[in-house]
Structures are given as structure tokens and as C-alpha cells.
Amino acid sequence: MRRPVVWLAIAVVLVAGVLVSALAGQLPVTPAEVGGSLLRAAGIPNPWAPSDAVVESTLWVVRFPRIAMAVTVGAALAAAGAVMQAVFGNPLAEPGVVGVSSGAALGAAAAIVLGLAAFGDGLVAALAFCGGLLATLLVYLVSRANGRTEVVTLLLTGIAVNAFAGAGLAFLLFSASSANREQIVFWQLGSLGGSLWREVLVVAVVAVPGVVVAALLGRRYDVLALGERNARHLGVDVERLRIVSVVLVALLTGVAVAFVGIIAFVGLVVPHLVRMLQGPAHRPLIVASAVGGAALMVWADLLARTLVAGAELPIGLLTSLVGGPFFFFLLWRQRRRAGGWA
Amino acid sequence: MIADAVVVQRGGRRVLDGVTLEVRPGEVLALVGPNGAGKSTLLAVLSGELRPDSGSVTLDGRPLADFAPRELARRRAMLTQDNALSFPFRVREVLEMGRSPWIRTPQQEDDGRVLAEAAARADVEHLLDRRFTELSGGERARVSLARVLAQDAGIVLLDEPTAALDLRHQEEVLTVARHLASAGRAVVVVLHDLSLAGAVADRVGLLDGGRLVALGSPREVLTASALSAVYDVDVEVLERDGTLLVVPVRGPSRA
């Protein structure tokens, strides 16, 4: 499919998701009220702006920050997935699957149990980043051999890292106070509920430059697909690219996980679909994945809070429900046409 | 480019043991020798990929290690035997990767011409819109060769470029190598087939056990006595229409 068509389609899905998310919920809001409220915030007086303070605060305190969080987190996770796949040279690499997300969750949970959360959101995010970085490095060092990734080792390392981080989380859960316990459970399942503007700001400050840097490295990721030796002969400083990318993945995943918990498979499903639609060239892939990830996350969150009336499903449950079978499909296809991917 | 007394050790064994040679523009240098003689290692050292444990490799008097990766990539191209590709890029995109060292340089304007020429020389024009991952082994090898040609470097290193190719395409690779040399580039090619080496090379380097045991014109190096000693099998060197044919001496037919 032609690239502009694909991009337009992804953008339409995102914008539609944002609009529906602003309208839908326990308190019905009309499209005119949403538009009017936005215009008023931009300093343009208009007759459609809601006169009811409840509507106004529902939009600005509850729905908009939540939508903004979904957009930034989705973009961060999908871009992280695309970068990870580029560095590992394998479409099955994904922060959730190989344990980077759970490493980050462990870091965040440790920050909460140790009472560091009192010192600010930044610190929780920083520990989530450290956990994610450690997990990424571990997986990378173990699963690489002779400049290529062994798929089986990659996935097995992911199992090991997930198991270890899961045990760590369970231990923290066991030793935490009941208030902290609830927060940790929230991390394991993932939720966008109760997102605050200042949290959105922290995520955006990392996600936006992160996606831009990843996109700028796109050409080098293309060359890296030829294997590390060939990339080196083509003038790519492979060592440096590797380090920058690992830090990038840990940053993007860590900051997302720090505020919304583990939301797996976004980084797997989105880049894969984009690759099928417009090809594997990394610069457009990373940009389109970021937008697509935002769209997927907005719609997933909308479903999570409207599917069951009066209750909220954990969003991580929803993404895994779709992502699990998708992952299985990828494995099955890779086996069937052996040699399609190294 | 000059390699001087290059030594490479691996696991306490000297894989290359004091190799000295000069790579000259306008010349095809073929490296031959039995398995494990150090041909590919020597090529890796010449490419800058592998740093020698002692000795040096210099390009225009500067040690290879002093070159930035991209700078080096504009000076020398290398065809490895690694033809894997992680994602299903199209052949056209793979060739464009060969141009990546020239991004944001004046030479970028030549992209179109160089790419078209590279595709024509390696006979991959009809494959441009195919996905690399769907190609056969021989087609992949030719695409990789075209990518190396697209890199447009003054020194071209080829590691067994004929390995996966049929007879016609083997001959075409030799033509490509000759053409590169006649255009003033330096070509170093590792070959297993001694007759091919005799046909294509201006000079032949014969390696054995990490040592360069002979270096000179095909006629000087590819002699029955030298080859028989190095390969540990009786070899006969025939000449036909000015080219050398190297064949093992086989006993009378068992038929």
C-alpha cells in the first residue's frame, strides 16, 4: 500500500479514537461541548463551550489527561518496540516479551515500597528506567552471538527475566503495606485511570525526543539489517548505535511503565502491522509506529473503561488478550516459512 | 594500502603470521590457499574490521584505526559471505543502503547513476522490486555484490564472491573485478578456484598456515610444485589460450 494512504489511515484512526474517548463515559458530553471547551482553552470565546462546571472539569481533569497519557504512552511503547526489533534484527523482540517492561515495573515498585515516591514522580520514573535498562542490557548481552540474535535464546532470556522480575514484584507485594500493595497490583495489570497532567508531562518530555532520535537513527537501523559486519563495512558505528538504542528503549519503556504499568505487546503488534502495510524502512516505520501506537492505546483504553459498565478493565489485560494470539501467529508463520527472518 | 608484518593471534595460535603486502590501484590481487590458511582473516584485517595484534595496515600512510567508520566506508567496500537480511527489504532498498556512506556529501547526487550501473554490472536489474528475503542464494549473492559496487569505493575487497554462483555469473563476477581494476580501483579477492584466480588476477598471493608463501603474477605463483606442496595433493597446471588451468592429478578412471 502507498505510504500516504497508510499514514492517513493511521491518523484518522487516532483522531477518531481521541474524539470518541472525549465523548464517551459515565457523563455524556456532546461534540460541540468538546470543541467549544478546547477553543475556550485556546483563548477563543465561543457559544458552544460547556456552561456546566462539571462537564468542564470532567473534560480537563479526567478525560483529556487520560487521552494525552494514552497517546504518549502508546507512542513510546510502539517506538521502543520498533527500535528493539531493529537492534535485535528480529521482529519478535518487544519490551514486554523480553522482560524490559517487567524490569521497569520492578524498579518502579521498589521505588514505591521504599517510600521514594514521596520525592516526586521523576524518581519513580528514574528507577523504572534503571530496571528497564538492566533488563535490556541483560537480554541483549545474552542473546547476541556473532553479530546476530538467536531467536530461541532471546525468547528464553525473556522468560528468565520475566520470571525474576515477577518474583521481585511478588516479594515487594508480600512485604508492602496494603496501600502500596494496591499500587503494585496496578503496575502488574496496567491502567491509565487517574492520569494527571504532570505525569503526562514527564512521559511527553521523554517520549517526544525519544521518538525523534529513534527516527533520526532510522537509516542506520536499515543498514544494520544487513548484519553487524556489513553495517560496520558501510560505515555504521555499530557499538555506539547499540548503546544509544538500548538506552533509548529503556527510557521509552521505563517512562511509560512508571506511570501506567505493564502494557505488553503494543511494541510488537503495531510495528509489525506498519511493516506489513508500508515496508520495513525504519525511519517511516518508527514515525508511523509511534502514531499507530498512540491510536491503539487510545482505543484500547476506551474499551477498557466502557466495555464493562461501571467498572474498569485493566488495559494490560486487553492488549495481552490481543497480543498473545498475535505473537503466536508470528511464531507459527516464522516457522512455516523458515528463512524469512534470521 | 599497505599491510606490514601483520600478525593476528586467535586462541594462542597465529592465524596470520607476518604478512606483508601492498594493495595497488588498478590491480586485481587474488588471495588463495587451503581452508584455514588465513585468507578471510587477512581480508578482515585489510578492511579494518580486525585489528592486527602486531604489524600495521595503512591507507595513504594513515593507520586504518585512525579512520572514522564512515570515512573508511567511502574508501573501501567489502563483500562478506553474510547474505542474511533481518527484514524483508526490497532489492532496490538494499542497493540504496550501499550508498549510505555518501549521505550528505556532494557525491550523493550521483546516487541514481551509480545505483543503475551497479545493478546492471551485477545483473540484478530485473530483481529490483523483489524482496531480498524471497531471493535464491545466488541472487542474494549478486545483490550483495551490487550493493558493494554501489558503495563506489576505491578499494574493493571480495570474500569468495563466486561461492554461490552458477558458471555464467562466476564469469560475470570476474568481469566486474577486471572492470573495477581497469577503472583504477584496487581489488582484493579471496578465491577457492585456482583457475579462476589465474584468469582474473594481476597478482596472486598464496597463503599457507597464516604465512604468505608466494606473491607474484599467476604464472610465478600458480606452479605445480608450489600448489602441490601447499594443498597436499598432486596438482597439474595446464595452459590454454594464455590462461592457466589448475587441475588435481587424478588416477586413471575407475570406470
Q: CATH code at B123?
A: 3.40.50.300
In this structure, are strands B211-216 and B203-208 parallel, antiparallel, or unpaired? antiparallel
Helical pair B91-98 and B137-150, crossing angle rounded to 10 deg: 40
Give strand pairing partners of A149. A144
**B145 is a domain residue:** yes
Q: Tell me what the mean pLDDT of segment B73-81 comes to.
A: 95
Evaluate if residue A342 carries a pLDDT over 60: no
A268: how many CB neighbours lie within 10 A of its CB? 27
In the prediction, which pLDDT does A341 show? 45
Minimum distance, in Å, between the CA of residue B84 and any CA atom of chain A: 6
Written as nine digits, the cell of A155 is: 525468547
Range name among A141-155, B75-89, B239-253 with the lowest pLDDT average: A141-155
Q: Tell me what the mean pLDDT of segment A221-242 comes to.
A: 92
pLDDT per residue over B15-65, tens digit each? 999 999 999 999 999 999 999 899 999 999 999 988 999 999 999 999 999
Residue A11's H or E segment, with its range, is helix A3-23
In the prediction, which pLDDT does B149 show? 96
Evaluate if residue A147 carries a pLDDT over 70: no
Residues in CB range of A200: below 8 A, 6 or more apart: A65, A68, A69, A72
In the prediction, which pLDDT does B32 show? 95
Nearest to B178 by CA among B194, B189, B167: B189
Residues B101 and B149 sit within 8 Å (Cβ to Cβ): no
Helical pair B137-150 and B167-182, crossing angle rounded to 10 deg: 10
Q: Does B84 touch chain A (CB under 8 A)?
A: yes
In the prediction, which pLDDT does A337 show? 63
**B93 is a domain residue:** yes
Minimum distance, in Å, between the CA of residue B179 and any CA atom of chain A: 22
**B208 is a domain residue:** yes
Residues B35 and B192 sit within 8 Å (Cβ to Cβ): no
Evaluate if residue A280 carries a pLDDT over 60: yes
User: Where do the domains of chain A lie, and which CATH numbers do they carry?
Assistant: 64-336 (1.10.3470.10)
Domain hosting residue B18, numbered range: 2-218
A212: how many CB neighbours lie within 10 A of its CB? 14
Nearest to A250 by CA among A107, A154, A115: A107
Helices (H), A89-233: 100-113, 121-143, 151-175, 178-189, 197-216, 218-224, 228-233
Q: Does A340 touch chain B (CB under 8 A)?
A: yes
**B229 is a domain residue:** no
Minimum distance, in Å, between the CA of residue B78 and any CA atom of chain A: 6
Minimum distance, in Å, between the CA of residue B45 and any CA atom of chain A: 12
**B240 is a domain residue:** no
Q: Share the mean pLDDT of chain A.
A: 88
- Rounded Cα distance between B41 and A233, Å, is 15
Residues B67 and B1 sit within 8 Å (Cβ to Cβ): no
Give me the residue from A227, A234, A281 closest to B84, CB to CB.
A227
- Rounded Cα distance between B34 and B232, Å, is 9
Written as nine digits, the cell of B141 is: 549473492
Tell me, what's the ipTM? 0.91
The number of folded domains in chain B is 1
pLDDT per residue over A94-113, tens digit each? 888 888 988 998 998 888 88
The 10 Å CB-count burial string (b at 16+, else e) for B127-157 is bbeebbbebeeebbbbbbbbbbbbbbbbbbb
Angle value at C-alpha A227, between B162 and A244, nearest 5 degrees: 155
Nearest to A114 by CA among A171, A162, A157, A63: A171
In which band, very low, low, confident or very high, does the pLDDT at A332 lie, cut at 50, 70 and 90?
A: confident
- Rounded Cα distance between A175 and A56, Å, is 41
Written as nine digits, the cell of B237 is: 597446471
pTM (2 d.p.)? 0.90
Written as nine digits, the cell of B210 is: 597464516
Q: Does B40 touch chain A (CB under 8 A)?
A: no
Q: Backbone phi, then psi, for B175, in 5-degree steps?
A: -60, -45
Minimum distance, in Å, between the CA of residue B208 and any CA atom of chain A: 25
Could you tell me if residue A89 is left (phi over 0), alpha (psi between -120 and 50 degrees) or otherwise beta?
left
Contact residues on chain A for B101, CB-CB shorter than 8 A: 234-235
Q: Following DSSP, what letter does each residue of B194-209 receive, concatenated?
A: HHHHHHH-SEEEEEET
Q: What is the CA radius of gyration of chain A?
A: 20
Q: Tell me what the mean pLDDT of segment A22-42 comes to.
A: 88
Contact residues on chain A for B94, CB-CB shorter than 8 A: 226
**B202 is a domain residue:** yes
Q: Does A276 touch chain B (CB under 8 A)?
A: no
Evaluate if residue A320 carries a pLDDT over 50: yes
Q: Tell me what the mean pLDDT of segment A272-286 comes to.
A: 93
Evaluate if residue A81 carries a pLDDT over 90: yes
Give me the residue from A219, A237, A275 closest to B100, CB to CB.
A219
Between the alpha carbon of residue A178 and those of residues A113, A123, A190, A313, the distances in Å are 11, 21, 18, 21
Contact residues on chain B for A222, CB-CB shorter than 8 A: 89, 93, 97, 100
In the prediction, which pLDDT does A49 show? 83
In the prediction, which pLDDT does A340 show? 45
**B136 is a domain residue:** yes
Q: Does B116 touch chain A (CB under 8 A)?
A: no
Q: Does B107 touch chain A (CB under 8 A)?
A: no
Evaluate if residue A139 carries a pLDDT over 90: no
Residue B79's H or E segment, with its range, is strand B76-79
Evaluate if residue B254 carries a pLDDT over 60: no
Contact A233 B133 (CB under 8 A): no
Nearest to A136 by CA among A174, A184, A101, A170: A101
Please count the CA atoms within 13 angstroms of the CA of B39 that sit on its side-chain side: 25
In this structure, are strands B54-59 and B2-10 parallel, antiparallel, or unpaired? antiparallel
Angle value at C-alpha A220, between A126 and B44, nearest 5 degrees: 115
Give me the residue from B72, B80, B133 closest to A230, CB to CB.
B80
A338: how many CB neighbours lie within 10 A of its CB? 7
**B114 is a domain residue:** yes
